[in-house]
Chain A
Amino acid sequence: NAGVTQTPKFRILKIGQSMTLQCTQDMNHNYMYWYRQDPGMGLKLIYYSVGAGITDKGEVPNGYNVSRSTTEDFPLRLELAAPSQTSVYFCASRRQGGGEKLFFGSGTQLSVL
C-alpha cells in the first residue's frame, strides 16, 4: 500500500528555472494539499483541492500553480524559482470529513540558488 508518493526527494534549482513537484495517492482520497515547511514556522498551506477539477488557494499561493485532472494526482508547479521558495514541500491527502486524518508524503527538499 503506497499511500502518498512524492517525487523528487531532493532538487536544486537555479533562480528563474521551473519545475513540477509530483504527488500521487492510491487511497481514492478526494482532498489533497500542498504545504511548505520552513524552520520554526510550522506548515503553511500553498494550495488544496477537494476533488478532481477543483483547486483553491491556501495561505501562501504566490509563485505556485496546481492542477487536479485526476483524483490520484496533484502536481505543484513552480514557474520562476526564487530563493524564497527554498523549503521542504509536503503533499498530503485525506478522505472527506472534518475528523479524517491527513496522510503525508515523505517530502521534497528544494533549494533555489
Chain B
Amino acid sequence: GDSVTQMEGPVTLSEEAFLTINCTYTATGYPSLFWYVQYPGEGLQLLLKATKADDKGSNKGFEATYRKETTSFHLEKGSVQVSDSAVYFCALTGANSKLTFGKGITLSVRP
C-alpha cells in the first residue's frame, strides 16, 4: 500500500537558519503530494502541494518539489522564524482517494 516516510525528529534551529525536512513516498500511479502544518492546539492545515512530477509547491517562504525519479518531496525554507515552530506532516493522495500521512516532525525555532 501507499506509505510516506519522514526524517526523524525533533528538529531545533536558530532563527534565520536554513530548513530541510526530508520526505519520501511509495505509491502506485501518480499521487498528489502535500505538506500540512499543525500549530499547537490546532488541527492540520495545508501548507503547500504538488500534483504532478516536477511541480514546485510554495507558500509562506516554504518550497517543495515533486521528484518522481527519487520519489521525494522535501520541504525547504531559506530562513526560518520563531513563528514557524510547529509539527510538519508530509502526505499523499493515492489512487484509492485515501490521504496517507507521514509520522510528522516537530520543528522548534529559537530566537
Q: Are A42 and B98 in contact (CB under 8 A)?
A: no
With A42-B89, A43-B89, A107-B43 given, is the CB distance from A101 to B34 under 8 Å?
Answer: yes
Interchain CB contact under 8 A, B31 and A98: yes
A67 to chain B, nearest CB (A): 19
- Interface size for A (C-beta < 8 A) is 24
Q: How far is the CA of A72 from the CA of B88 in the complex (A)?
A: 28
Give the one of A35, A48, A50, A99 with max B CB within 10 A: A99
State the Cβ distance, A6 to closest chain B Cβ, in Å.
8
> B17 on the interface (CB 8 Å rule)?
no
**Chain B interface category by residue count:** 20 to 34
Contact residues in B for A74 (Cβ distance below 8 Å) = none
User: Are B46 and A50 touching (Cβ within 8 A)?
Assistant: no
A7-34 toward B: CB 8 Å interface, digit per residue (1/0)? 0000000000000000000000001010
Given the interface contacts A40-B103, A99-B51, does A48 sit within 8 Å of B98 by beta carbon? Answer: yes
Bound-state Cα–Cα, A99 to B89, Å: 16
Q: Contact between B93 and A99 (Cβ–Cβ < 8 Å)?
A: yes
Please tell me if the beta carbons of A43 and B43 are within 8 angstroms of each other in the complex: no
| Interfacial residues of chain B within 40-95, with CB under 8 A of chain A in the complex | 42-46, 49, 51, 89, 93
Give the CA-CA distance A92 to B104 in the complex, in Å. 17
**Interchain CB contact under 8 A, B99 and A41:** no
Query: What is the distance, in angstroms, from A110's C-beta to the closest C-beta of chain B?
Result: 15
Q: Which 4 A-B residue pairings sit nearest by Cβ, starting from the closest?
A: A104-B43, A42-B103, A99-B51, A101-B46
Can you report 22 residue pairs joining A to B where beta carbons are below 8 Å apart? Answer: A4-B43, A33-B98, A41-B103, A42-B89, A42-B101, A42-B103, A43-B44, A43-B104, A90-B43, A92-B43, A92-B99, A94-B99, A98-B31, A98-B93, A99-B49, A99-B51, A99-B93, A101-B34, A104-B45, A106-B42, A106-B43, A107-B42
